[in-house]
Amino acid sequence: MAHLMNINVPQTLLKKISKNIILEEEDFLKVCKIFRQEAKDGLNKDKTKRKSLQMENTFVRHLLDGAECGDYMALDLGGTNFRVLLCKMRNGELRETKVKNYNLEKEVLRGPSDGVFDHIANSIAKFLTEFNIQNNNIPLGFTFSFPMSQFGLNKGVLVTWTKTFKCPDGVGKNAVEMLEDALKRKKVTKVKVVAILNDTTGTLLAGSYLDHKCSIGLILGTGFNAAYVENAANVKRWGNEEMGDTKQVVIDTECGAFGDNGSLDFFKSEEDFLLDKHSNHIGSFTFEKLFAGHYVGDLVRLHLKSLNSAGTFLSEPCEALKQWGHFNGRHVTDIEKGHNVEEILQNLLKVKVSKDDCLIARYICRAISIRCCQLVSAIILELGSIMERNHVTVAIDGSWYRHHPKMKSDMEKILKEFDKNRVYEFILADDGSGKGAAFVAAVATGLEKD
C-alpha cells in the first residue's frame, strides 16, 4: 500500500528516514484476522473469552425506515457543555430541528451526581417552556458519552466518570434512572427517556436517515469507534431483555480499545509505545492512539524528534519537538492539504528549515495518514465480511475525517484493493450525538407502537 505515498522522495533521503510507519500487506492482513477473531470472541456471553473488544449490545434493533412521524427530543451529554434538541419528523423526513446549548459549572461537576442531573433536568424544563411543548408527551434519546455497561435500550450503568466530571457518586447506577429521577424532582412528567446510546450508535442512525442501507457508523475524530448491524442470533448478551424474534441489532464494538491486550504490539513503533507511556490512560485505548485526531500531532512530532536526534531532520537540535501537544492534528491536515510546509514548520519550530526538512515532514504526515486509513479500513473490511452484505454504506463523523483532504479516497482505494466483491460507500453523517439520539428515540417509539 506504499503506492498511496504520492510524495517523490529521493532514495538517498528515503534511506535516512527509514521509518516503517505504513503497514506491509502481511501485517495489514494480520490486523484484519485478529480483529475478526476478537469481534467473534467479544460477542460471547462468557467474559473470560473476550479480549480487547467489548462488542456491547446497544439493544437498538431497527434503523430508520422512512415511516417515522412525531416529535422527538435528544439530550447530548459529553462534557462541560450539553445540548437539548427537538426534532420534528413527518413521514420519515426531518422537517425542523431546535437546539439549545447549556453548560455545567465546575462546582456542579465536583458535587453529587444528583446535582448534575438536577441541572440538566432544569435545563430541559426551560427548553420545554421556551418552545411551549411542556404539555406534550415526548420521547427522548440520551447520548451519554461516558463508559457504561448497557443492559437494555434504556438501561446504561455508569462505569466511571471521565473528562472534567469529578462526582463522588453515580458509578454503578443506571444513567437513565438518574435522569428520570431528576426530571420528576423538577416536575417534568411528559418527557420519557426511551433510549441511551453513545455517539457512534447515533452516527449509524444518522447515516440510516441519509441512506436506509447504512450498516456501519464510525467516529473518526479526537478518538475512534465503530458500530455496525449484527445478526441477532450471533449476540449472546441480552441483559434483562429477550431476543424474541429480533433479526438484527446494533453492536458498539468499542474498538478504540482494540489491542489493549497487546495483540497489535507486533507492528507498533518506538514512537507509538512512547506516546502511550505519556498518555493519561496508559495501556488503554491502544487502537485510537495509533491514528486518532487527539494523538496524531504528537505521533508526527515524535517521529520528527527521532529523526532530529539522528541528525536527519533539521540542522540543529530543536527544543520545540520535545513539547507535547505542540504539533496537532490541524497541522497534519494543513500539510496534507498542500499548505506551505516551510511556513508551518518555521512557525512551529522557530528554526530554519531546508527543502529536505519540508519533504521529510510531508512524508511523515502522509505516512501517518496512510496508516490511519489502513487501520480504519481493516475494521470496515472485517465488519463488511461479518455482515455478508454486497453493498456496505459507512456513515462517518468526526473532525479528523471531516478536515482531512485524502482520507476518504485513500480508504476507498484500500477497500477496493482488498475486497473486490463488495461495494463500499462513505457518507458524512452530521451530528450523530444530537440528531442521532433523536432518531434512536423515533425507532424506540416505533417499536413500542408495534
**Cβ–Cβ under 8 Å, residues 273 and 242:** no
Contact call for residues 428 and 209 (beta carbons, < 8 A): no
Burial group, residue 280, by CB count within 10 angstroms (0-12, 13-18, 19+): exposed
- Within 8 A by CB and 6+ apart from 435, the residues are 74, 85, 87, 94, 97, 202, 206, 209
Closest CA relative to residue 116, chosen from 75, 58, 159: 75
- Strand blocks (E) in 127-183: 138-144, 148-152, 155-158
Query: Cα 99 from chain centroid?
Result: 22
Alpha helices, DSSP H, located in 51-164: 106-110, 113-130
Is 137:190 a contact under the CB 8 Å cutoff? Answer: yes
List beta partners, residue 99: 85
The helix (H) or strand (E) run that includes residue 375 is: helix 355-387
Sheet holding 70-77, edge to edge: 93-103, 81-90, 70-77, 138-144, 191-197
Active site residue 199: yes
What single-letter amino acid sits at 172? Answer: G
Residue 314: all three cell numbers together: 533539521
**Which among 71, 118, 199, 397 is annotated as catalytic?**
199
Q: 5: closest CA among 367, 397, 390?
A: 367
> What letter would DSSP give residue 186?
T
Catalytic residue among 49, 163, 190, 236: 163
Active site residues: 163, 199
